Structure 1
Amino acid sequence: MVASQSLLAAASFAIGASALPSPWGGWWSPRPNQGGYGGSAAASGSGINVQLGPRPFYLVNNMDNGTLKDKLESCSNGPFKTSSFSISHRGAPLMFPEHSKQGYIAAARMGAGIIECDVSFTSDRELVCRHSNCDLQYTTNILANPELAAKCSEPFVPYNNVTGEPASAKCCTSDITLAEFKGLCAEMEATTFNALNVSDHFGRIGDTPDWRTNMYAYSCAETMSLKEQIALVESMGLNFTAEAKTPEVPMPFQGDYTQEDFAQQIVDTFVDAGIDPSRVWLQSFLPDDIFYWLAQDNAFGEQAVYLDERADLTADGYDVAVASLPDLAARGVKIISPSIWQLVTADNATGTIIPSSYAIAANEAGLEIITWSFERSGPLEVEGGGYYYTGVNNIVNNDGDEFYVIDVVTQQANVTKIFADWAATITYYANCMGLE
């Protein structure tokens, strides 16, 4: 598609309550909960002064001329509000260190109605927010601390300039205690594979893609426990999604902490915090976790999200996944969550994007669909956006095309919520289309 040259004002718009003193330095301003959807705290009544910044407007301006662009342009003056169609994926990792307090607040400011914590566990069996059980070496500064680095499952090994073997380390949340985890700084996801020393390896710049930024990573972004994340999200009047990360350490952990214990502990943490199950979307890539939640606590199982990556695992995984959808629905699964590319395909005869056989089958099985993750790929001008746009790479070729994909997965594939690394983009679309 050819990028349009039409002009659209790129500006931040704000609505909601006047700014009030806040413990978070004015990033958001709380108001009393006004109630709302799902029998829970209303995203639209959260009191957050939603500010979308220039990116959504840049993307609209970058679109090809047409009906969808006209519609999105017509919404450029807002008003904008929080929407649970917009899910914060890992916080706001397009620009902020993932699963950091600062990233969560940024996502809330951009109108995400649901904030994600990917849940892992520490050596003292406390739950923390981290995308992987063993990613501390490239998402935190753990290697800068010799005492903690010595506890890593696999110590730092420098780049071998003879064999070309890359620098490596493996540091897991389960290697350290909660107190030690809280002493870490969250950093942008990056690794310098040719590092000759630890300083190079954990360097803040590292191999951060040039379409992200380290602007907000030079100060110490705060890591979060699940309890802290729940308290923060609750204080903002928003809702929750928590993913039970597949452990990279042998289970049962320490001989007696089973996968079921881990899955139940996540539920217990929300129960202890007094959070109504209708406000929580538990997630997992492991079907056993989904079926456990369905069997053990139906109130939470009702909104359990089966993250489906089977199409990425084997050559016939996509077909297997499509064929399995009716059976999953029959077994009680209500929400399926594949990656974006599984839901769309190209109609090369017309040069358009259409729903995939997966999307059609999921709808026929009566499954709700949530998808992930927009704003995670690099520029669509480069290789058609890469992984998340597989199957339509030959059609998308400028950043504005992202909105065409969003529109197809929403209006034709019937997706009800979208994860994004930059919530403002999805919030803009949701507000313009009246999606709460």
Structure 2
Amino acid sequence: MTDSPLKTKLQSCENGPFSVTGFSIGHRGGGTLQIPEESMQSEQAGARMGAGILECDVSFTNDMQLVCRHSLCDLHTTTDILTRPALAAKCTVPFTPANATSPATAICCTSDITLAEYGTLCSKMDGFNASAKNPQDYQHGTPSFRADEYNTCATPLSLNQYIDLVDSFPGYRNFTPELKTPPSQVPMPFKGVYTQQQYARDIIEAFIKKGIDPARVWTQSFNPPDIFQWIKEYPAFGAQALYLDESGDDGPANFSAAVARLPSLKAQGVNLISPPINYLLTYCDATNRTIYPSSYATTAKAAGLDIVAWTFERSGPLYNVKNTGDYYYQSFNQAVNHDGQLYEILDILANQIGIKGIFTDWAATVSYFGNCFGLTGPVGGSYYKPGM
């Protein structure tokens, strides 16, 4: 980091004390820079690094059971399914080797297999080798800025296993399950009977059956009808649901519309908005590269919405952000050029905008910052008023 009051403040905290903080939200578990995502081991790593809220992205299996997987159709890149012939034969799109004109392809979905079959898989770092001639070679391809040292047979989790695991961690950890919208390969209603609405209910019912206090559960969805359904049917859960907003992608007009819609979302009962980092920050110009809060950030705060951002350390090294067009930095990529600025970005998000928490791929970084500044994260239960 460049010498600054922020650097001095962070250095002053090097000996702690440290505790669990809800400001640090373990993305796909919280250890995903080094450990296969959505696995037991990633959740354990996130917990050890102080994340107070741990994520499970929720997909469903062929027998309509709920599991932790970032996409319904990513098993071919996040598990060893293609090396299991009996299970690989069930994939939506079987493995096809690369040839002179086409890359290797496969599509394997959680909905292709049962919960019991899912539990036999090994989770691996997300990646694939597009030049592969066989399923074994297809397993490679971890991005260079993530590590393979722990890319062994990590343990996949069902939603129920995730709930039990997080509930067992010391320090009172909370939950953030994300309802994954099925891709086109998995038409809904699934098998003609399993609707999106029932899928949304099943996530909440899993926590109710486990006796988990709604104040500990921060449900998420990119699909507004899911959020409104939870607000109506499960108000104690819906009151602190995170609306994951990516409606401002793909151009200035969409971004302006996303900003304009924020007050109406609050009026419809949404209390927490969860946009990507790039929605919240902008910079002055090529001469003055000061980063400052965007119109989205200021409008959300003015509307009374609390903000939870995503995703910290999801990208590669910042020295090359100007040239890569990285999603998370696209609104201010000309103003960053080294990794020391990550804490500067976090400082603007936390101490100027006042975000309540941030999803992170390596929870220790955000946990350190949160402890140093006394940030506790969103307060469970404070969003729900009986009778609302």
TM-score, normalised via structure 2 length: 0.93
In structure 2, how many angstroms separate the alpha carbons of the residues matched to 1:292 and 1:367?
19
Structure 1 partner of 2:112: 175
Letter in 2 for 1:411: N
- Is 1:402 the equivalent of 2:370? no
In structure 1, how many angstroms separate the alpha carbons of the residues matched to 2:121 and 2:360?
25
Structure 2 partner of 1:239: 174
Letter in 1 for 2:142: T
- Is 1:377 the equivalent of 2:310? no
In structure 1, how many angstroms separate the alpha carbons of the residues matched to 2:259 and 2:206?
34
Alpha carbons 2:321, 2:329 under 8 Å: kept: no
Q: 1:313 to 1:262 in 2, by over 3 A?
A: farther
Structure 2: which 5+ runs fail to align? 377-388
Letter in 1 for 2:372: C
Deviation at 1:363, TM superposition (A): 0.6
Which of these residues, 360, 369, 382, is aligned with residue 429 of structure 1? 369
Name the SS of the counterpart of 1:323 in structure 2: helix
Structure 1 partner of 2:155: 222
In structure 2, how many angstroms separate the alpha carbons of the residues matched to 1:172 and 1:311?
28
Which of these residues, 352, 364, 370, is aligned with residue 290 of structure 2? 352
Structure 1: which 5+ runs fail to align? 1-62
Q: 1:199 to 1:310 in 2, by over 3 A?
A: same
Letter in 2 for 1:208: T
Letter in 1 for 2:327: Y
Letter in 2 for 1:391: S
Deviation at 1:391, TM superposition (A): 1.9
Deviation at 1:128, TM superposition (A): 0.2
Aligned sequence identity (%)? 53
In structure 2, how many angstroms separate the alpha carbons of the residues matched to 1:158 and 1:209?
21
Query: What is the aligned-residue RMSD (CA, Å)?
Result: 1.1
- Is 1:129 the equivalent of 2:65? no
In structure 2, how many angstroms separate the alpha carbons of the residues matched to 1:404 and 1:394?
15
Deviation at 1:390, TM superposition (A): 1.3
In structure 2, how many angstroms separate the alpha carbons of the residues matched to 1:274 and 1:316?
44
Letter in 1 for 2:36: P
In structure 2, how many angstroms separate the alpha carbons of the residues matched to 1:405 and 1:389?
10
Flag as ranges the 4+ runs of structure 1 deviating above 4 A: none
Deviation at 1:313, TM superposition (A): 4.6
Give a deviation string over 1:286-342, Cα, whole Å, max 9, x none.
001001101111010011100001122566221110010011111111110000011
Which of these residues, 46, 55, 62, is aligned with residue 107 of structure 1? 46
In structure 2, how many angstroms separate the alpha carbons of the residues matched to 1:412 and 1:359?
10
Structure 1 partner of 2:218: 281
Structure 2 partner of 1:75: 13
Give a deviation string over 1:173-206, Cα, whole Å, max 9, x none.
000000000000000001101111111112xxx1
- Is 1:327 the equivalent of 2:264? yes
Which of these residues, 360, 372, 381, is aligned with residue 420 of structure 1? 360
Name the SS of the counterpart of 2:6 in structure 1: helix
Give a deviation string over 1:263-292, Cα, whole Å, max 9, x none.
000000000010000000000000010011
In structure 2, how many angstroms separate the alpha carbons of the residues matched to 1:256 and 1:88?
33
Name the SS of the counterpart of 1:398 in structure 2: coil
Structure 2 partner of 1:96: 35
Deviation at 1:217, TM superposition (A): 1.0
Structure 2 partner of 1:300: 237
In structure 1, how many angstroms separate the alpha carbons of the residues matched to 2:110 and 2:249?
26
The 5-angstrom pairing of residues 151-190 of structure 1 reads 151-161=90-100, 163=101, 165-190=102-127
In structure 2, how many angstroms separate the alpha carbons of the residues matched to 1:356 and 1:188?
34
In structure 2, how many angstroms separate the alpha carbons of the residues matched to 1:120 and 1:334?
25
Aligned residues: 368
Structure 1 partner of 2:379: none
In structure 1, how many angstroms separate the alpha carbons of the residues matched to 2:342 and 2:330?
13
Name the SS of the counterpart of 1:267 in structure 2: helix
Give a deviation string over 1:71-119, Cα, whole Å, max 9, x none.
1111111111110000000011100000010110000000000000000
Which of these residues, 103, 119, 122, is aligned with residue 58 of structure 2? 119
Letter in 1 for 2:338: N
In structure 2, how many angstroms separate the alpha carbons of the residues matched to 1:283 and 1:305?
5
Structure 2 partner of 1:211: 145
In structure 1, how many angstroms separate the alpha carbons of the residues matched to 2:154 and 2:69?
13
Give a deviation string over 1:21-51, Cα, whole Å, max 9, x none.
xxxxxxxxxxxxxxxxxxxxxxxxxxxxxxx
Give a deviation string over 1:101-142, Cα, whole Å, max 9, x none.
011000000000000000000001110000001000000000
Name the SS of the counterpart of 1:382 in structure 2: helix
Alpha carbons 2:282, 2:294 under 8 Å: kept: yes
TM-score, normalised via structure 1 length: 0.83
Letter in 2 for 1:376: R
Alpha carbons 2:319, 2:337 under 8 Å: kept: yes
In structure 1, how many angstroms separate the alpha carbons of the residues matched to 2:160 and 2:104?
34
Letter in 2 for 1:224: L
Deviation at 1:209, TM superposition (A): 1.3
Deviation at 1:383, TM superposition (A): 2.1
In structure 1, how many angstroms separate the alpha carbons of the residues matched to 2:212 and 2:198?
20
Letter in 2 for 1:213: A
Structure 2 partner of 1:316: 253
In structure 1, how many angstroms separate the alpha carbons of the residues matched to 2:123 and 2:135?
17
Deviation at 1:65, TM superposition (A): 0.9
Letter in 1 for 2:363: A
Deviation at 1:347, TM superposition (A): 1.8
